[in-house]
Amino acid sequence: PQVLVHEAPTSWQSTLPVEVHHSLSRHYGAQEMERQEIIYALYTSEQSFVKSTRRVVRTILLPLRVRESRAWLPGIPSDIARFFDWLEDVVNLHASIARALSTVAAIWETGSIVQRVAGTLKGFVPRLEVYMPYLAKYEGVKEVLHWHLEQDGGEFGEYLRMQERERPEDMWSLERLCDEPAGRLRSYLENFQVCR
């Protein structure tokens, strides 16, 4: 028996029946079709980013918290604990953005185009300030985490090594979780410069 793999379509156009895309293209023009593709790429990449980051947070970070609490277990270095808090804030922001984009993108199911995405995204601009402490401490904490992963003989270092050994291949590493938000910001700049 053949196994069907369900992957997300790679383009907005591929989500539409051919005749619907042709009709929209005739009505709105090529520039609008390109804009819809950019919105689709933003929408799908945001969904993927949130799914991947939440999985790492759930698997690696949450077990380091006191049950039913935002407090960290004893033995977690305070600078790393604060960084993990900031990282969670960033992930939660992106989850909110993904939900908002899902609401806006629902119009595609009717065979229409997304017209007002800028207003939706504009509301998140002030909330991007949650990135500030993450970006300020990113490089230094990344080095400290690497040291704990490679050389720390204590419980925290052992926990990180165990998580890395047992991490499924399709799951991001903690290091990648730490790197990705900065890359996400860069991708926003690239996408929005294309849209101008």
What does the pLDDT look like over 37-51, one tens digit per residue?
A: 989 988 999 999 999
Say how far residue 192 (Cα) sits from the centre of its chain: 17
- Give this prediction's pTM: 0.86
pLDDT digits (tens, 9 = 90+) for 128-162: 999 999 999 999 999 999 999 999 999 999 999 99
Residue whose C-alpha is closest to residue 100's, from 46, 164, 176, 172: 46
CA distances from 131 to 17, 106, 169, 196 (A): 39, 28, 28, 24
Distance, CA of 86 to CA of 11 (rounded, Å): 33
Distance, CA of 72 to CA of 21 (rounded, Å): 51
Mean of all residue pLDDT scores within the chain? 88
CB atoms within 10 A of CB 15: 17
